[in-house]
């Protein structure tokens, strides 16, 4: 028995006409990016981590500095983190200095301010708060829009994903993406210019006579 085959009763031109709207609709779906500024921008989030350490006589209680250091080591404290102290009122100077010494051992300076935490600080303790920011680009990679059927002059739906994702991954302080960088009082342009001037005035190493080196042994 001959095999039965099915054939469409619609002419080829009619089938093409019916398929065209689907193709046009497919080209219009997905992320729209009509300009040269990518719609995929870094988003910065912040997490706060707190540890309450006991005080005694205005100083940290015995072994509390070690416990604080162990906690910071577990947190992998490093550049980009901000550390503040909250006592729910006036901060004991000695306790603050001890916390600052622990923070300094990780190459950081204790911040003058601190984020507001939810729970009140228990009397007889100080709260050490570590604020850490992360930057990421949500929605990347994005291949939702078919660039081969583009009638609205949009750039690729994935445009900007690579650059901004790398930027978010490499920035040392993600907060700089939000508020920029404030003028650093430690950075003195006069000192920078002095170093450059000294470098320019220093004689080249090859300007003098060649050093005489003997091929004979020491004997």
- Where helices occur in the chain by DSSP H, the ranges are 12-28, 64-74, 93-104, 161-170, 176-179, 189-201
First to last CA, the chain: 108
User: Looking at the DSSP assignment, which residues form a beta bridge with residue 134?
Assistant: 45
In the chain, domain spans: 43-135
Give the span between the Cα atoms of 77 and 134, in whole angstroms.
14
Give the span between the Cα atoms of 104 and 92, in whole angstroms.
18
Asked if residues 107 and 162 have their Cβ atoms less than 8 Å apart, the reply is no
- List the structure tokens of 201: 């005035």
Residue (of 95, 120, 105) closest to 72 by Cα position: 105
pTM value is 0.63
Q: Which pLDDT belongs to residue 1?
A: 45
Q: Which pLDDT belongs to residue 94?
A: 93
Looking at domain 43-135, its CATH architecture is 2-Layer Sandwich (3.30)
Q: What is the mean pLDDT of each run of 10 residues along the chain (219 residues)?
A: 50 55 55 84 94 93 94 93 90 93 93 86 93 94 79 84 94 87 64 78 73 64
Q: Which pLDDT belongs to residue 3?
A: 47
- List the structure tokens of 130: 């570590």
Q: Which pLDDT belongs to residue 186?
A: 58
């Amino acid at each position: 028995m001959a095999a039965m085959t099915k054939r469409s009763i619609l002419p080829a031109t009619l089938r093409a006409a019916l398929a065209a709207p689907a193709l046009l609709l497919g080209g219009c779906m997905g992320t729209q990016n009509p300009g040269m500024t990518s719609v995929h921008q870094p988003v910065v989030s912040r997490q706060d981590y707190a540890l309450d350490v006991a005080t005694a006589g205005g100083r940290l209680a015995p072994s509390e500095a070690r416990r604080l250091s162990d906690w910071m080591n577990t947190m992998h404290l490093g550049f980009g983190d901000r550390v503040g102290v909250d006592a729910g009122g006036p901060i004991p100077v000695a306790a603050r200095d001890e916390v600052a010494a622990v923070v300094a051992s990780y190459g950081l300076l204790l911040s003058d301010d601190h984020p507001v935490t939810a729970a009140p600080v228990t009397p007889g303790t100080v709260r050490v708060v570590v604020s850490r920011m992360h930057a990421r680009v949500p929605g990347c990679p994005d291949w939702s829009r078919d660039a081969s059927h583009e009638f609205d002059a949009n750039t690729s739906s994935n445009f900007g994903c690579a650059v901004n994702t790398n930027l978010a991954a490499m920035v040392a302080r993600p907060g700089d993406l939000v508020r920029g960088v404030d003028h650093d009082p430690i950075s003195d342009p006069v000192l920078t210019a002095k170093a450059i001037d000294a470098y320019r005035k220093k004689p080249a190493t090859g300007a003098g006579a060649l050093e005489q080196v003997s091929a004979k042994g020491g004997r």
